[in-house]
Amino acid sequence: MFRSALLKLTSFYFILLLTVCISLSVPAYLISSDRINRGSSNQLRVLNEFARGPLAFPDREMPPTFDPRAILKEQVEKQRNDDRRELLRGLILVNFFVLAGGTILCFYFAKRTLTPIEKLHEAQANFTSHASHELRTPLSVMKAEIEVALRQQASKEKLRDVLKSNLEEIERLTDLSDQLLALTLLENRENTKELFSLSELVTKDIENFEKQNKIKIDTDINPEVSIEGIPTLISDYLRILLNNAMQYIANKPAIIKVSLNQLGDSKAKLSVRDNGIGISKDDINKIFTRFYRVNQASTHHGSGHGLGLSLASEIAKIHGTRIEVDSELGLYTEFSIVLNQK
List of residues contacting ligand ADP (CB under 6 A):
244-245, 248, 274, 276-279, 287, 292-294, 302, 304-310, 333
Question: Closer CB to ligand ADP, residue 212 or residue 296?
Answer: 296
Please, what's the largest Cα pairwise distance for the chain? 140
Q: Give least dist CB 245 to ligand ADP, A.
A: 5
Q: Give least dist CB 168 to ligand ADP, A.
A: 15
**DSSP reduced 3-state for 321:** coil
Q: Give least dist CB 323 to ligand ADP, A.
A: 11
Q: Give least dist CB 300 to ligand ADP, A.
A: 11
Residue 59 C-alpha from the chain's centroid:
89
Question: Closer CB to ligand ADP, residue 121 or residue 216?
Answer: 216
Q: Give least dist CB 230 to ligand ADP, A.
A: 20
Question: Closer CB to ligand ADP, residue 237 or residue 248?
Answer: 248
- Dihedral sign computed on CA atoms, order 298, 304, 306, 308: negative
In this structure, are residues 162 and 146 in contact, taking their beta carbons and an 8 Å threshold?
Answer: yes
| Strand (E) or helix (H) holding 43 | helix 2-50
Distances from the Cα of 114 to the Cα of 1, 6, 12, 72, 313, angstroms: 11, 7, 13, 61, 26
In this structure, are residues 320 and 206 in contact, taking their beta carbons and an 8 Å threshold?
Answer: no
Of 171, 184, 183, nearest in space to 304 by CA: 171
In this structure, are residues 323 and 336 in contact, taking their beta carbons and an 8 Å threshold?
Answer: yes
Q: Give least dist CB 304 to ligand ADP, A.
A: 2
User: Cα–Cα–Cα angle for 279, 312, 265, nearest 5°?
Assistant: 100
Question: Closer CB to ligand ADP, residue 9 or residue 309?
Answer: 309
For residue 258, give every residue at least 6 positions away whose Cβ sits within 8 Å of its Cβ, in sequence order, or none: 202, 206, 217, 218, 219, 220, 221, 238, 242, 270, 271, 272, 273
Question: Closer CB to ligand ADP, residue 333 or residue 336?
Answer: 333
Question: Closer CB to ligand ADP, residue 142 or residue 277?
Answer: 277
Question: Closer CB to ligand ADP, residue 187 or residue 194?
Answer: 187
Chain position whose Cβ is nearest to ligand ADP: 304
Question: Closer CB to ligand ADP, residue 293 or residue 319?
Answer: 293
End-to-end CA distance of the chain: 49
What is the C-alpha separation between 226 and 267, in angstroms, rounded? 10
Q: Give least dist CB 132 to ligand ADP, A.
A: 17
Q: Give least dist CB 183 to ligand ADP, A.
A: 11
